[in-house]
Amino acid sequence: MITIAISANTSWYIYNFRRNTILKLFALGYKVLIIAPKDSYSIKIIDLGCDFISVDIQQRGKNPLKDLLTLWGFYKIYKKIKPAFVLNFTPKNNIYSTLAASYLKINVINNIAGLGSVFINDSMTNKIARKLYKISQPRANKIFFQNKDDKEFFCAMCKGTVNENIIDLLPGSGVDLERFSFSPAPNDQVVRFILVARMLFDKGISYYARAAHKLKDIYGAEVEFYLLGFIDEKHSGSISKEQISSWVDTGYINYLGISDKVEEEIGHADCVVLPSFYREGVPKSLLEAAAMGKPIVTTNNVGCKETVEDGVNGFLCEPRSAESLIHAMDRIIKLSHEQRLAMGHKSRELVERKFDEKFVIEKYINAIKDLTD
């Protein structure tokens, strides 16, 4: 039986974003090995029928010795297990898992979901990271990007070192159209906004809070604002629990914590907002929102803008501009319930046309078959 290894920096990511890919691989007769740090989702991955091996990865750490130990960890696993393919997700896996697997002549398929701050900021750490991408990615057999901007940027950066024939585009991570089914908001004279993301400054959380403050002062009980997502206080760009609590205490924001059933919270909303100025792939939360028939307000930014046809299924605003965000959200409020539903139908149509998860899984299966032949 052919073994396919899947590697990412958390078990949570693999379970929540790649579960249906795993199930499809099982259906086609492959054996699946998951390689990720152990967390509370590791047992759920095992329950799916996967083999699981834990590997230490410092997600945002800058200690080169620990990164070398991560590389050595991947090498030991691949030397022992000898999978036919490795599917890598998340940055350090794309680098260190690729280097280890390629040295052992194992087929590597990478997913670069968003170039992020590494390709925006010019710190010494980011320069090293870019160098590591240039060293590792030519060793991959296939590289998937989630938006055209990132693909073109990467090709320009690695010109002459990476064969552009191995580079392809995916429609984001795709979205499960059965789980995230059309779910119109209640017509109860209250307009509800929700932002679903990790609680990071780069996701535009503070701009959303400022918009909520302004619009709540104008519309009072006619509008509500929700946050849903993990507070990652180990991340240097995290919004603190104290900051979120202060927003909640003012009465402008409702914080919902985290949920494995995000579709239930999105279902109550009239509009989903993500004012990110991070270099996204294509945000999963916006694809899920669109699948559920929600109008979207997001930034005219790499990755985010792919989810909105401005004025059709939502509105684009400018990154790092509270005024632009407030204006876009105010436009949603001033629409009738029927107009918001009509926008929501357009969101669903967009996702069905471009972002069905089945398209993503098919791309992976075809890449595996091509490399097998």
Summarised one tens digit per residue, pLDDT across range 274-296 is 999 987 889 999 999 999 999 99
- Per-residue pLDDT reduced to its tens digit, 216-245: 999 999 999 999 999 987 777 899 999 999
Amino acid making up residue 117:
S
- Per-residue pLDDT reduced to its tens digit, 86-144: 999 999 999 999 999 999 999 999 999 876 655 555 666 667 778 888 899 999 999 99
Rounded CA gap, 189 and 248, in Å?
A: 22
- 167 C-beta neighbours (distance < 10 Å), count: 20
Confidence of residue 163 (pLDDT cuts 50, 70, 90): confident
pLDDT value at 161 more than 90: no
Residue 90 C-alpha from the chain's centroid: 10
Q: Tokens 């010109």 correspond to what residue?
A: 159
Q: Tokens 């620990």 correspond to what residue?
A: 66
Task: Give 186's DSSP letter.
Answer: P
Domains and CATH numbers, the chain: 3-174+356-372 (3.40.50.2000), 191-354 (3.40.50.2000)
- Give the residue ranges of DSSP H helices in the chain: 11-17, 19-27, 42-48, 64-81, 91-92, 98-103, 124-136, 148-157, 205-219, 241-250, 262-268, 284-291, 322-334, 337-354, 357-372
pTM of the model: 0.91
Report the share of the chain in percent with pLDDT over 90.
81
Coil, helix or strand at residue 222: helix
Please state the φ and ψ torsions of residue 97, each to the nearest 5 degrees: -65, -40
Rounded CA gap, 48 and 215, in Å?
A: 45
pLDDT at residue 142, rounded to an integer: 97
Rounded CA gap, 275 and 202, in Å?
A: 9
- Per-residue pLDDT reduced to its tens digit, 295-314: 999 999 989 999 999 999 99
